[in-house]
A = this chain, B = another copy of it.
């Protein structure tokens, strides 16, 4: 049987496709051709897009003029617990590759232990942090062993789809922007050798950096193709690359940033750039004979509280739930003005969309995807105070007792909230200045906590820096018999970017009263939002106008009927609510927070059902009552 094999090759400082037809029976290559190739890929992350929509997004990318799809592979999506592998649903990367192949597109797959990507822990599994000795992204043996295991499993899945084996995958990447923030070349080379020599990876590997001499040196790895990530100044940057690399290096932009992400805190990271500006820069890139991967063609959503964070010595920024990214396709997969602008430029440079493929729709895809719509507003009908639920089966059975506070990782909890409970011994000793002399400090708080004394709200504490001890500013008194303290700690997203690489979550060391009294004997209640925990909630009716006391974390529930199909995407808008999480039919849509900038949460139709639907809102601070469904992402500008 004759098979086609394609190899992306470097020649004369540019990329070519060398196509061979290989006769397996005769064990010989029957025909070889070499053709110039200009890569124009659109990036999207399968793990951020409902699987039913993958094909829709792929088709739209092809239609914009791209000839390839690029994706990261997120290790923590596939290995949620050590050696427990998942390749189903959102994690079914093989199906994603097959869909790309079906639409005659090539693929770039960035497999790395670390992907950054504004994704929790930069894609590295949280459980690596269960051992506090580990150093992520390093030659630490624990990390290296786990990373190799990850390569073994994922490369074995993907290798049959390498272009060199007749599949769509043309190239990969080594690590991720490694030279921009790190400089252990031996680490980089060990990964390179493992992929090449041990796993037989025979496709080219890009080595993406930002255009600076230091980063080039720091991330140098023989055998890789140096590529650049930028959003502006292609001509200058490629000239720099040409001058800086001794070898003749093709002009590849592995991340042409068409937009950007945002963090909770009231405003976008940076002002949005107009479609015209992006188009002009893109034109400059293509005019400079560059190869481009649009980062992103389509961003998607940080469902399930999987967003990452950027943490520095003096601040913490937690990425919002939407990963819309101001991309050619918005969060719901709709075409934006950037799409047309970029399509036009691509076309001018000879990137015509390939013909529409056959209508042989893959099982599970929704084609065409109807646009988001507004549904009628509904009211919550039931409520369940968190602190009242902790004695119920779904919570009580999960309690972890420990003499000292455990980190979230030590509690085997990846994401979300962990409630810490203990008893403070009393009484507060009399003091000269007054009678409320106590404070509570958390060393270290990762990342945000509501503190309750005997069930009454005291204060909300926040991690304000890479390293810090969070102390209550409200002073309080402990009665002679002592009191119960509950600390509801939220992991707001593990840092996905250096230098705070080991971003343990929860409470990492201890909690102390005053300046030195260390509190022992903790019960840990992980809030998993699992069907078991949601099913165990004891609901009470919400009377008109009766909402729980402020700052009493509470579950709220509503049901609503969707009689007609096709179901359509929508955005959940909670204008009177404060901060929390939304689950629709058990699916975790992610965090909302009235401080913005994101004000509405993407709810894909794929999580809705015809007939009765259930929404559960976990509100930390103060609920509204109405739940609105609107047709767009609402962002504070």
Interface residues of A (CB under 8 A from B): 131-133, 135, 138-140, 180-184, 186-187, 212-214, 217-218, 312-314, 403-404, 425-429, 441, 443-444, 465-469, 471, 478, 480, 482, 497-502, 509-510, 512, 515-521
Contacts and interface: CB of A to CB of B under 8 A. Distances in A.
7 contacts: A132-B132, A133-B133, A187-B520, A214-B478, A314-B469, A441-B499, A499-B509
Contacts of A180: 517
A312 B516 contact: yes
A498 B521 contact: no
Given A133-B132, A139-B403, A469 B502 contact: no
B182 A441 contact: no
Contacts of A502: 509
What 3 A-B pairs are tightest by C-beta distance, nearest first?
A184-B520, A132-B132, A313-B469
A427 B213 contact: yes
Contacts of A443: 313, 466-467, 499-500
Contact of A181 (B313, B427, B517): B517
| This chain: copies in complex | 2
Contacts of A138: 403-404, 520
Given A312-B516, A404-B140, A512-B499, A429 B212 contact: yes
A403 B520 contact: no
A423 to B, nearest CB: 8
Contacts of A135: 403-404
Contact of A469 (B184, B212, B467): B467
Nearest to A515: B312
A131 B158 CA distance: 38
Contact of A184 (B467, B468, B521): B521
A551 to B, nearest CB: 24
Contacts of A212: 429
Nearest to A311: B516
Contact of A518 (B313, B444, B498, B509): B498
A138 B521 CA distance: 10
A520 B214 CA distance: 14
Contacts of A213: 426-427, 429, 480
Contacts of A517: 180-183, 214, 218, 498-499
A122 to B, nearest CB: 13
A314 B470 CA distance: 11
A510 B497 CA distance: 14
Nearest to A502: B509
A517 to B, nearest CB: 5
A515 B426 CA distance: 44
Given A133-B133, A429-B212, A520 B182 contact: yes
A187 B133 CA distance: 25
A567 B242 CA distance: 75
Given A132-B132, A214-B428, 6 more contacts: A135-B404, A139-B403, A181-B518, A184-B521, A213-B427, A501-B518
Contacts of A132: 132-133
A515 to B, nearest CB: 5
B425 A214 contact: yes
A55 to B, nearest CB: 38
A182 B512 CA distance: 9
A186 B520 CA distance: 10
A133 B504 CA distance: 12
Contacts of A187: 403, 520
Contacts of A186: 403, 521
A474 B135 CA distance: 29
B444 A467 contact: yes
B218 A515 contact: no
Q: Looking at A139, A312, A467, A471, which has the most chain B CB atoms within 10 Å of its CB? A: A467
A181 B403 contact: no
Contacts of A480: 213
Q: Looking at A133, A499, A500, which has the most chain B CB atoms within 10 Å of its CB? A: A499
A491 B348 CA distance: 64
A444 B138 CA distance: 18
Contacts of A314: 469
Contacts of A184: 403-404, 520-521
A468 B471 contact: no
A156 to B, nearest CB: 28
Contact of A183 (B500, B509, B519): B519
Contacts of A139: 403
Contacts of A510: 499, 501
A498 B519 contact: no
A499 B219 CA distance: 41
Contacts of A516: 181, 312, 497-499
A183 B404 CA distance: 10
Contacts of A425: 183, 214, 217-218
A181 B312 CA distance: 32
Nearest to A312: B515
B214 A427 contact: yes
A353 to B, nearest CB: 39
Contacts of A468: 467-468
Nearest to A510: B499
Contacts of A471: 313
Nearest to A439: B313
A118 to B, nearest CB: 15
Nearest to A517: B181
A214 B140 CA distance: 44
A468 B466 CA distance: 8
A466 B516 CA distance: 11
